[in-house]
Chains A and B, each alone.
Chain A
């Protein structure tokens, strides 16, 4: 007893504890250098601002780099993969793409005709001795062009919507398709938080880009180019100022676009940090209260906001640097055009009408230029999200199914070794010979390797050495569809999918007839309530739909296994604990399921072991004891000790 009163001293307990324990006290959320000074000359303050800006830029780059190379979680694809993906999608939609571009060009051209006709009007009016009927005719012509432009705009936008929605649907369905093909080993092993973020937030960002960013950027580009052309046609001389301001514009925009994605991705991630901290505070309100953590949660929330404010400041500065240049670059050509126009008019090179048209074109080009910048921005963020989505497809498959089908139902495992990290085997040569129909309980302390053994026996992971054979065939080399009808790992089975009752049950054999579904429901005593549902098997259940009680959800889960009908079940108690309130109702259903199957039960509770035919005690990756309950109790080993503690 004395030994257990305190942690053992010495090098053994919690290796690395001394090195990593830090004196209390938090680091400030943001380094002091990011706080602006309150004294100093303007020059010093400007220099300090510049240093802060560069530091923020560095922080944004770091965050961006981290988000590109996640330490954990799924891979991220390269940008070139995005272009390849986009090319494939566009390749299948060439006709509509061409139609789209043609319509948008025509609409833009129609828009550009208007100032051109106004030019004639002004010239006619300015010429004096004007005939009113000429003015009327020209005005009517403009009206006609405007109507055509409106119609073309309508058609072009319509087709854009059709095209964009189609592209988007194809892209997101592809993503979900890849999610559904993720290798079994990685699905069972990894946290799915990353995956949820990808199918929600990243799909959302991609949608924004595809639906708005892509079409608008293309349209804006077309319009800008055509407007420049129209200006040149109107008067090459008067188009010079705008053309000359383009390099300045291009430099500012390129500088901006080079930095903006990191800035916005960082900004976005600071908002998710704010949200996660607040989520914990709200959902853990009681824990916060119990431990008196209110002050600390407020500090943490404020610190998140401080970090976020820095990210906001950075993108604000980026935009300010951009806007100050482009605002000037957009508007100043007006002045140069006026001056050039004065020279040209005096020399008889240009008419008043041409000057008018040039001014109108300069005003007209601002909107598409703005949109071009804004949407390239949006596209960049969309590409970043898409790389994360395409990364899902880059998880290597963990098995290449062979052709063989098992002959018989006997499951044997030999010399199993397995490591999650190279060089750290958690199993050291385990043999299991499962008698068809027997119940084998595996017990052992946490960390002993018993859950890993369960995963190998269920064909989830491939052992590093040794093999798990069923009916003479390597388990891991079976087609998934076949594997599922041989061995099933019963874990977190209570998830009820959004879908019909039928959808929720036929999983393993998707073409099962209704009769088979009903039979499975009857086997688990669920048919009585299912048939009373408004639409029977067709009733849509799951989150946000018809709610099932915990017991009903359990029955659904069991019925799935009845349909799958595997000859061997691996039950992991760590993850398949059944709600005690429903347990009693399910005793019958459960025994129907277990009957006639071999069961490997990874047991937390000793009576599970007690009821088994054989018990394997796994300690440190080896089977330390094997035998029936009575044999092991008689043997007086570790199991016997535990049993005495349990029952005394």
Chain B
């Protein structure tokens, strides 16, 4: 038997010169088969189901036996009654009873296999989808969240995948149910044509008679769901702002708002419940009336000696069973339609291709060479610590992105989901527009990625080198850097390359010893998801320590100390400059404490290099520089020089941990990975130095 979870290959990288129309440049047939067919939603579903055909075939074969007691059992019962009980033959009764017992025992034991196959099919579809999302994400890198909102990427894994699992399960079951249905058809027609016809017609009628009621029911359930989702976000909102509610007040107002919404959900729930009740009552009514008709007709036939009692009893059994296959077919149609909707979103994600193209003959980046940015005219000399100062923080952030060869788009990612209530022509139109927008974006990315980049290391443009080498040699650590959950050792040394002394040194340089001490188990102490539970300052220092530990040839650090107090910042400035001596380091900051330790300061004005020199020289020479660096001194105590860039909130209140798929699926979409882009929502603004409203400044406080 095959097994789960499935193996899923990594996406291959594209070489220059490969066909642009085909999915892949160089890929073996095997890999091609293991990569999803994204040409259309139905092709994707078929591709996915074929990957686990064994599970569905297994369900079909075992299902035939599992459905046997239901489909053929009534027949054996009827024969037992007629030939055994009524005729008074012990042999016949025993024979038929034994056959029935055998069928039941067989079904019960084969049922184990069928369920096993069902689980295999379900979880394989689910795990495969999740693995594909992970692989697509790591293939696309920073470009992906600029194309599709992160919440929607996640919901492909957390919610769409489950639909495919359900589809696989119902598909296997429906095939077996079809077989059982045909068996019953044969049995009833061979017994009595009129009764057989009633039975065959009644079952579909029973299922479809409920259909008109389902529409209003689904509408009401949709209302209930959307209100419930709103209720959940109200609760999340309350928790996110709980420190304000308990600190400043407002419990009554927001408690009452929640209660009001809760009552709205309740009313919607009751109104859906009434329709649910109607559906069930109608089901009861029709299946009861069906039984009545069958009985009435059957007893007349019995009275006229055209049917035996045993056969009548068989018909009761068939009548009960027939609902099963019909309902299964109905379910299959529903699941297929739902899966198509999901598949549309899934292929939108999976069809994204990285914009990069590996040069045919990549040029090596010279070491010990200056790195130069043509757009600003900025140059960082090798082995020197350069601090970049700009009046406009976005300029330095953009410079850092260019130095690291990051494609940053100003456009919002395009949603794959339609708003509530958009359907029909408008839905198709909206989808087409978004499709086009996404395609334009992809085209633009590809163009920018392939033309001359405009940043050179020792005269070699970054586009001439392989991307892997650029990433290896130039490390950009920006304010949005993620701290990953796991042990502290893994967070600092994700590749397992460091010695303990190097690790300690990195922590020392970033003055992050309090992070170490805050964790109960030292290096093996566990950091929560996204470093939640650390204060903003601690997280920032850990990010810095990680960058220091990575020891890149060229380190580009954006606002590495914006959330750190002056004492600690002074310490870091001193240690960092000493530690990086002889290595190329570019820091974007306006803090005098850092500038003081810079070998060289570059001042950007209007997006161009305006002045260069040491901090003291520039202070003396440039009034504009002086104003930028010391402007905070003249300002109000509160708006001192915080980091020029508000880093995107790592976990804004909109993206709480543990939100359910329904409630949280769209939430993380609020996040902006693009540091050059305003953190536009109020919710994502505040979290400068801060784990976000959800992970309060706990620990600066706790361990102070």
**Are B533 and A122 in contact (CB-based, < 8 A)?**
no
* A286 contact from B119, B141, B285, B568, Cβ within 8 A: B141
Residues of A within 8 A of B235 (CB): 172, 176, 179, 199-200, 203
Tell me the smallest distance from the CB of B93 to a CB of chain A, in Å: 5
Tell whether B366 is near chain A: CB-to-CB under 8 Å: no
Q: Is B140 within 8 A of A328, CB to CB?
A: no
Q: Is A255 an interface residue (CB 8 A)?
A: no
Let me know if B698 is at the binding interface, CB within 8 A. Answer: yes
Segment among A43-51, A289-297, A469-477 that sits at the interface with chain B: A289-297
Q: Give B306 Cβ to nearest chain A Cβ, in Å.
A: 11
Whether A324 sits at the interface, judged by CB under 8 Å, is yes
**In the bound complex, what is the Cα–Cα distance between A604 and B638 (angstroms)?**
10
Q: Is B255 an interface residue, CB under 8 A from the partner? A: yes
Which residues on A sit within 8 Å (CB–CB) of B262? Answer: 169, 172-173, 176
A455 CA / B393 CA spacing, docked (Å): 32
Answer whether residue B133 sits at the interface, using C-beta atoms and an 8 A cutoff.
yes
Interface pick from B430-438, B447-455, B570-578: B570-578
Q: Given A19-B522, A146-B285, A481-B249, do A447 and B703 touch, yes or no (CB 8 Å)? A: yes
> Which residues of B, 239-267, contact A by the 8 Å Cβ criterion?
239-255, 257-259, 262-263, 265-266
The answer to whether A574 and B689 touch (CB under 8 A), given A193-B694, A341-B85, is yes
Q: Mark B291-311, 1 if CB is under 8 A from A, else 0.
A: 110011001101100000100
Assembled-state Cα–Cα distance A379/B109 (Å): 28
B5 touches A305 (CB 8 A): yes
Among the listed A14, A306, A489, which residue makes an inter-chain contact with B513, where contact means beta carbons less than 8 Å apart? A14
B130, B592, B686: the one within 8 Å of A278 (CB): B130
Instruction: Let me know if B656 is at the binding interface, CB within 8 A.
Output: yes
A445 to B530 alpha-carbon distance, docked (Å): 25
Does the CB pair B693–A648 fall under 8 Å?
no
On whether the beta carbons of B249 and A564 are closer than 8 Å, the reply is yes
For residue A444, CB closer than 8 A to chain B, the reply is yes
Q: Which residues between 683 and 704 of chain B lie within 8 Å of chain A, taking CB atoms? A: 683, 685-691, 693-698, 700-704
| Given A491-B697, A607-B637; A21-B300 close (CB under 8 Å) | no
Question: Which of A62-70, A76-84, A542-550 makes up part of the contact surface?
Answer: A542-550
A-chain residues with CB within 8 Å of residue B658 when the two chains form the complex: 193, 196-197, 200-201, 272
A54 close to B (CB within 8 Å): no
Q: Does B17 make an interface contact (CB < 8 A)?
A: no
Per-position binary interface string of chain B over residues 457-479, scored 1 when its CB falls under 8 Å from any chain A CB and 0 otherwise: 00000000000100110011110
State whether the Cβ of B187 lies closer than 8 Å to any Cβ in chain A.
Answer: no
A623 interface contact, C-beta 8 A? no
Once the chains bind, are B140 and A285 in contact (CB under 8 Å)?
yes
| Contact indicator B524/A20 (Cβ below 8 Å) | yes
- Asked if A157 and B565 make an inter-chain contact with CB atoms under 8 angstroms apart, the answer reads no
B596 is an interface residue with CB less than 8 A from chain A: yes
B174 within 8 A of A: no
Q: Let me know if B116 and A320 touch, CB within 8 A.
A: yes
Chain B, interface residues (CB within 8 Å), range: 35 or more
Contact B276 A543 (CB under 8 A): no
Rounded to whole angstroms, the CA-CA distance of A18 and B657 in the bound complex is: 33
Contact of A426 with B by CB under 8 A: yes
Stretch of B332-340, B374-382, B481-489 at the chain-chain interface: B481-489
Given the complex, which residues of B lie within 8 Å of A452, measured CB to CB? 701, 704
Smallest distance from the beta carbon of A72 to chain B beta carbons, Å?
8
Q: Report if B284 contacts A (CB, 8 A).
A: yes
B8 nearest CB neighbor, chain A only: A302
Q: Which residues of A contact B505 (CB under 8 A)?
A: 6-7
Say yes or no for B100: interface residue by CB 8 A criterion: yes
B504 contacts the other chain (CB 8 A): yes
- A628 lies within 8 A of chain B by Cβ: no
Q: CB distance A331 to B248 under 8 Å? A: no
Task: Report B576 CB to chain A, min CB distance, Å.
Answer: 10
List of B residues within 8 angstroms of A603 by Cβ:
565-566, 637
- For A114, the chain B residues whose CB sits under 8 A away are 288, 291
Interface-located stretch among A227-235, A400-408, A495-503, A518-526: A495-503
Task: Report yes or no: B685 in contact with A345, Cβ–Cβ below 8 A.
Answer: no
Chain B residues with CB under 8 A of A576: 638
Q: A445-B567, A447-B514, A491-B243 are in contact. Are A5 and B579 (CB under 8 A)?
A: yes
From 526 to 581 in chain A, residues with beta carbon under 8 angstroms from any chain B beta carbon are 541-544, 547-550, 552-554, 560-561, 564, 571-581
B529 near A154: Cβ-Cβ < 8 Å? no
Given contacts A281-B138, A574-B697, contact A648 B596 (CB under 8 A): yes
A448 cross-chain contacts in B, Cβ below 8 A: 704
A450 CB within 8 Å of chain B = yes
Min CB–CB distance B696 → chain A (angstroms): 6
**Contact B134 A297, beta carbon cutoff 8 Å:** yes
Q: Is B359 an interface residue (CB 8 A)?
A: no
Please, how many angstroms separate the alpha-carbon atoms of A491 and B529 in the complex?
23
B residues 516-540 in Cβ contact with A at 8 Å: 516-517, 521-525, 528-530, 532-533, 535-538
Take A172-B262, A497-B254, A646-B592 as given contacts and tell me if A510 and B249 are in contact as well, using a CB distance cutoff of 8 Å: yes
Q: Is the CB of B485 within 8 A of A280?
A: yes
User: Would you call A237 an interface residue if the criterion is a C-beta within 8 Å of the partner chain's C-beta atoms?
Assistant: no
Residue pair A323, B115 in contact (C-beta under 8 Å): yes
Q: A203-B235, A285-B144 are in contact. Are A278 and B522 (CB under 8 A)?
A: no
Closest to B514 in A: A447
Instruction: State the Cβ distance, A37 to closest chain B Cβ, in Å.
Output: 13
Question: Given A139-B295, A283-B673, A575-B697, do A177 and B255 touch, yes or no (CB 8 Å)?
Answer: yes
Do A359 and B101 touch across chains, with their CB atoms under 8 A apart? no
Chain B residues lying within 8 Å of A258, measured Cβ to Cβ, are none
Name B634-666 residues within 8 Å CB distance of A.
635-644, 646, 650, 653-654, 656-660, 663-664
Q: Is A514 on the interface with B (CB-CB < 8 A)?
A: no
Partner-binding segment picked from A91-99, A184-192, A368-376, A409-417? A184-192
Which residues from chain A contact B639 at a C-beta distance below 8 Å? 578, 580, 583-584, 586-587, 590
Indicate if the CB atoms of A506 and B250 lie closer than 8 Å: yes
CB-CB nearest in chain A for B148? A282
Does A22 reach chain B (CB closer than 8 Å)? yes
Within the complex, the shortest CB–CB distance from B273 to chain A, in Å, comes to 2
Q: Which residue of B73, B596, B696 contacts A192 across the interface (Cβ within 8 Å)? A: B696
Report the bound CA distance from A145 to B259 in whole Å. 42
A606: B residues at CB distance < 8 A: 566
Q: Which stretch (B150-158, B201-209, B421-429) binds chain A?
A: B150-158
What separation, in Å, do the CA atoms of A324 and B62 have in the docked complex?
A: 14
The A-contacting residues of B in range 183-238, CB under 8 angstroms, are: 228, 230-238
> By the criterion CB–CB under 8 Å, are B701 and A339 in contact?
no
Residue numbers in B under 8 Å from A338 (CB-CB): 77, 80-81, 84-85, 93, 96-97, 100
Min CB distance B561 to A, Å, is 10
B94, chain A: closest CB distance, angstroms? 8
On whether the beta carbons of B698 and A191 are closer than 8 Å, the reply is: yes
- Asked if A244 is at the interface (CB within 8 A of a chain B CB), the reply is no
A563 → B minimal CB distance (Å): 9
Q: Is the CB of B522 within 8 A of A130?
A: no
Task: Tell me whether B280 is interfacial, beta carbon within 8 Å.
Answer: yes
* Chain A, range 1-56, C-beta contacts under 8 Å to B: 1, 4-8, 13-22, 24-25
Asked if residues A180 and B269 are in contact (CB atoms below 8 Å), the reply is no
Tell me which residues across on chain A come within 8 A of B158, comparing CB atoms. Answer: 271, 275, 278
Contacts of B123 in A (CB 8 A): 308-309, 312
Complex CA–CA separation, A383 to B678 (angstroms): 44
Shortest beta-carbon distance from B125 to chain A in Å: 12
Q: How far is the CA of A193 from the CA of B589 in the complex (A)?
A: 32
Between-chain CB contacts (< 8 Å), 18 pairs: A5-B578, A122-B302, A122-B313, A181-B251, A191-B695, A193-B657, A196-B656, A302-B134, A331-B73, A445-B565, A497-B241, A503-B254, A543-B237, A573-B638, A576-B638, A607-B635, A608-B637, A608-B640
Give 11 new A-B contacts, CB below 8 A, not counting A320-B112, A604-B565, A646-B593.
A4-B574, A7-B508, A24-B497, A143-B292, A195-B239, A286-B480, A327-B107, A426-B704, A446-B514, A499-B254, A543-B653
- Counting from the closest, the 6 A-B pairs by CB-CB distance are A161-B273, A24-B496, A284-B482, A146-B288, A494-B686, A157-B277
